[in-house]
Amino acid sequence: MRKFKPYGLIALLLASIAFPIAFPSPAITTIAFFTLLYAAAATAWNIFAGYTGYIALGHAAYVGIGSYAMAIFCKDWNLQGGYLPFVLIPLAGIVAALVSIPMGWIALRTRKHTFVVVTIAMFFVFQLMAFNLRGLTNGSVGMTLPIPTDWSGAFFNFPFYYVALAILLVALGHSWWIRHSKYGLGLLAIRDDEERARGLGVKTGQFKLTAFVISAFYVGMVGALHAYFIESLYPAFAFDPLFDLVIALMCFLGGLGTLSGPILGAIILEPTQQYFTMRFSQNGYYLIIYGAMFLAIILFLPDGILPTLSRWLAKRQSSGTVRDGEDSDSVQVQAPSPNAEGVTR
Amino acid sequence: MSYLEANGVRKAFGGVQALDGCSISVEKGSMTGLIGPNGSGKTTLFNVMTGYETVDDGDVRFDGTPIQNMSPDQVFALGIGRTFQLTRVFSRLTVLENMHVAVQRTGIRALFGRWSSSREQERALELLEFVGIIGLKDLPAGNLSYGQKKLLEFAYILIAEPKVILLDEPAGGVNPTMISYLSDRIRELNKMGVTFLIVEHNMEFVMSLCDRVMVMDHGTRIGDGSPDEVRNNPAVLDAYLGA
Contact (CB<8Å) A344/B143: yes
Contact (CB<8Å) B104/A201: yes
Q: How confident is the model at residue A341 (pLDDT cuts 50, 70, 90)?
A: very low
Q: Give how far A230 is from chain B: nearest CA, Å.
A: 37
When CB atoms are compared, the residue of A202, A334, A338 closest to B101 is A202
B121 at the A interface (CB within 8 A)? no
Cβ proximity of A67 and A224 under 8 Å: yes
Give the Cα-Cα-Cα angle A208, A210, A211 (nearest 5 degrees): 65
Q: Sketch out chain B's domains with CATH numbers.
A: 4-89+160-241 (3.40.50.300)
A53 at the B interface (CB within 8 A)? no
B146 at the A interface (CB within 8 A)? yes
Contact (CB<8Å) B134/A185: no
Contact (CB<8Å) B73/A331: no
pLDDT of residue A328: 35
pLDDT tens by residue, B17-62: 888 888 989 999 899 999 888 888 888 999 999 988 888 999 999 9
pLDDT tens by residue, B173-229: 788 888 888 888 899 999 988 999 999 888 888 888 898 999 888 888 888 888 888
Full-model pTM = 0.86
What mean pLDDT is predicted for residues A262-272? 90
DSSP B107: T
- Supply the ipTM of this predicted assembly: 0.85
pLDDT tens by residue, A205-245: 999 999 999 999 999 999 999 999 999 899 988 899 889 88
Contact (CB<8Å) B132/A183: no
Q: Give how far A201 is from chain B: nearest CA, Å.
A: 4
Of A61-65, A252-256, A285-289, B167-171, the least confident: A285-289
Side-chain half-sphere CA neighbours of B234 within 13 A: 1
**Residues of chain B positioned with their CB less than 8 A from the CB of A337:** 131-133, 151, 181
Q: Give how far A178 is from chain B: nearest CA, Å.
A: 9
Contact (CB<8Å) B178/A340: yes
Contact (CB<8Å) A337/B181: yes
Q: How confident is the model at residue B107 (pLDDT cuts 50, 70, 90)?
A: low
Cβ proximity of B49 and B7 under 8 Å: no
pLDDT of residue B110: 56
Q: Give how far B26 is from chain A: nearest CA, Å.
A: 21
What separation, in Å, do the N-terminal and C-terminal C-alpha atoms of chain A show?
Answer: 22
pLDDT tens by residue, B138-154: 999 999 988 888 889 88
**Residues of chain B positioned with their CB less than 8 A from the CB of A47:** none
Q: Give how far A108 is from chain B: nearest CA, Å.
A: 17
- pLDDT, averaged across chain A: 85
For residues A265 and A249, what is the distance between their CA atoms, to the nearest angstrom?
8
Contact (CB<8Å) B181/A330: no
Q: How confident is the model at residue B104 (pLDDT cuts 50, 70, 90)?
A: low
Residue in chain A nearest B112 by alpha carbon: A181
Contact (CB<8Å) A337/B132: yes
When CB atoms are compared, the residue of A189, A201, A332 closest to B93 is A189
For residues B178 and B171, what is the distance between their CA atoms, to the nearest angstrom?
8
Contact (CB<8Å) B111/A183: yes
B77 at the A interface (CB within 8 A)? yes
When CB atoms are compared, the residue of A1, A197, A331 closest to B101 is A197
Q: How confident is the model at residue A327 (pLDDT cuts 50, 70, 90)?
A: very low
pLDDT of residue A99: 96
If 0-12 CB within 10 Å is exposed, 13-18 middle and 19+ buried, where does residue A114 land? exposed
For residues A160 and A168, what is the distance between their CA atoms, to the nearest angstrom?
12
When CB atoms are compared, the residue of B89, B115, B144 closest to A180 is B115
Q: How confident is the model at residue A333 (pLDDT cuts 50, 70, 90)?
A: very low
For residue B13, report the phi and psi dihedrals to the nearest 5 degrees: -115, 105
Give the full edge-to-edge strand order of the sheet including B195-199. Answer: B80-82, B164-168, B195-199, B31-35, B212-217, B220-225
When CB atoms are compared, the residue of B90, B113, B145 closest to A345 is B145
Sign of CA dihedral A72, A76, A82, A86: negative
